[in-house]
Amino acid sequence: MQANGNDLLTRFANFGKAIPRDGLAAPLFLLAVLGMMIVPLAPSVLDVLFTFNIALSLVVLLAVMYVMRPLEFSAFPTVLLLATLLRLALNVASARVILMHGHEGEASAGKVIEAFGHFVIGGNYAVGFIVFIILTIINFMVVTKGAERVSEVGARFVLDAMPGRQMAIDADLNAGLLTREEAKARREEVRSEADFYGSMDGASKFIRGDAMAGILILAINIIGGLIVGVAQHNLPFDEALKNYTLLTIGDGLVAQVPSLLMSTAVAMLVTRTSRSSDMSQQVLSQIFMQPRVLIVAAAVLMLIGVIPGMPNLVFLTLAAVCGGGAYLLTQRSHKQAAAVPVPAPPAPQELSWEDVRPEDPLGLEVGYRLIPLVDAKQGGELMARIKGVRKKLTQELGFLVAPVHIRDNLELMPGGYRLLLAGVPLAQGQVYPDREMALNPGRVFGPLDGIRGHDPAFGMEAYWIEPGQRAHAQTLGYTVVDSATVIATHLSQLIKTHAQELLGFDEAQQLLNGLAKSSPRLVEDLVPKTLTLAIFTRVLQSLLAEKVPLRNLKLIAEVLAEAAPKSQDPVVLAGTVRAALGRQIVQEIQQASGIGQDMELPVLTLAPGLERVLQDSLSNGAAVLEPGLAERMHTALANATAQQEARGEPAVLLVPAPLRPMLAKFTRQTVAALHVLGFNEVPDSQKLRLVSAVGA
**For 38-54, what is each residue's pLDDT tens digit?**
777 777 787 788 788 88
| Lowest mean pLDDT segment, chosen from 8-17, 70-79, 179-188, 552-561 | 8-17
Q: What is the pLDDT of residue 541?
A: 93
Distance from C-alpha of 111 to C-alpha of 88, rounded to nearest angstrom: 19
Q: pLDDT digit string (tens) for 18-29? A: 445 555 666 777
Quote the Cα angle for 337-342-346, to 5°. 150
Q: Is the pLDDT of residue 177 over 70?
A: no
| Lowest mean pLDDT segment, chosen from 56-65, 268-277, 403-412 | 268-277
Q: What is the pLDDT of residue 193?
A: 72
Residue type, 525: D
Q: What is the pLDDT of residue 3?
A: 47
Same fold, 503-580 and 591-696: no
Question: Is residue 368 packed enough to be buried (19+ CB in 10 Å), middle (13-18) or exposed (0-12)?
Answer: middle
Q: What is the pLDDT of residue 501?
A: 92
Mean pLDDT for 554-572 is 91
Residue 475 near residue 371, CB atoms below 8 Å: no
Q: What is the pLDDT of residue 540?
A: 94
- CATH number given to 591-696: 3.40.50.12790
User: What letters, b where the CB count within 10 A reaches 16 and e where it falls short, cover 547-572?
Assistant: bbbbebbeebbbbbbebbeeeeebee
Distance from C-alpha of 263 to C-alpha of 209, rounded to nearest angstrom: 12
Quote the Cα angle for 436-365-413, to 5°. 65
Q: Which of 87-91, 391-395, 456-460 has the highest mean pLDDT?
A: 391-395
Distance from C-alpha of 675 to C-alpha of 354, rounded to nearest angstrom: 45
Backbone angles phi, psi at 473, to 5 degrees: -65, -40
CA contacts within 13 A on the Cβ side of 610 = 19
Q: pLDDT band at 277, cuts 50/70/90?
A: low
Report the candidate in 274, 266, 68, 66 with the shortest Cα–Cα distance to residue 189.
274
Mean pLDDT for 472-491 is 88
Q: Which long-range contacts (CB under 8 A, 24 or more apart) does 445-452 make?
A: 445/476, 445/477, 446/476, 448/472, 448/473, 448/476, 448/478
Q: pLDDT band at 514, cuts 50/70/90?
A: very high
The answer as to CATH 3.40.50.2300 being correct for domain 362-499 is: no
Mean pLDDT for 65-84 is 75
Mean pLDDT for 489-511 is 91
% of the chain at pLDDT higher than 90: 16
pTM greater than 0.85 (yes/no): no
Q: Is the pLDDT of residue 622 over 60?
A: no
Q: Is 69 helix (H, G, I), strand (E, B) or coil?
A: coil
Residue 601 near residue 652, CB atoms below 8 Å: yes
More confident residue, 294 or 690: 690
Q: What is the pLDDT of residue 175?
A: 54
Residue type, 128: G
Beta sheet of 436-439, edge-to-edge order? 451-454, 461-465, 436-439, 479-481
Residue 478 near residue 438, CB atoms below 8 Å: yes
Q: Which of 162-176, 272-286, 311-325 has the highest mean pLDDT?
A: 311-325
Distance from C-alpha of 99 to C-alpha of 382, rounded to nearest angstrom: 69
More confident residue, 552 or 303: 552
Q: Which of 17-26, 125-134, 292-301 has the highest mean pLDDT?
A: 292-301
Q: Is the pLDDT of residue 12 over 50?
A: no
The answer as to CATH 1.50.10.20 being correct for domain 503-580 is: no
More confident residue, 465 or 54: 465
Q: What is the pLDDT of residue 632?
A: 87
Q: Is the pLDDT of residue 537 over 60?
A: yes
- Who's near 356: CB < 8 A, 6+ residues apart? none
Mean pLDDT for 1-20 is 48
Centre a 10 Å sphere on the Cβ of residue 665 and count the other Cβ atoms it contains.
Answer: 14
Distance from C-alpha of 211 to C-alpha of 138, rounded to nearest angstrom: 10
Residue 544 near residue 500, CB atoms below 8 Å: yes
Q: What is the pLDDT of residue 695?
A: 78
Query: What mean pLDDT is reported for the chain?
Result: 79
Q: What is the pLDDT of residue 459?
A: 84
More confident residue, 535 or 349: 535
Q: What is the pLDDT of residue 354?
A: 72
Centre a 10 Å sphere on the Cβ of residue 88 and count the other Cβ atoms it contains.
Answer: 20
Q: pLDDT band at 543, cuts 50/70/90?
A: very high
Q: pLDDT band at 559, cuts 50/70/90?
A: very high
Distance from C-alpha of 275 to C-alpha of 282, rounded to nearest angstrom: 11
Q: What is the pLDDT of residue 204?
A: 67
Q: Is 439 helix (H, G, I), strand (E, B) or coil?
A: strand
Domain map (residue ranges) of the chain: 33-279, 290-331, 362-499, 503-580, 591-696
Q: Is the pLDDT of residue 17 over 60?
A: no
Q: Is the pLDDT of residue 9 over 60?
A: no
Helices 627-647, 660-667: crossing angle, 10 deg rounding: 80
Mean pLDDT for 492-518 is 91
Residue 538 near residue 570, CB atoms below 8 Å: yes
Q: What is the pLDDT of residue 273?
A: 53
Mean pLDDT for 616-629 is 70
Q: pLDDT digit string (tens) for 200-243? A: 766 666 766 776 777 777 777 777 777 777 777 777 777 777 77
Judge if the upstream peptide bond of residue 528 is cis by omega within 30 degrees of 0: yes
Q: Is the pLDDT of residue 555 over 90?
A: yes
Q: What is the pLDDT of residue 164?
A: 59
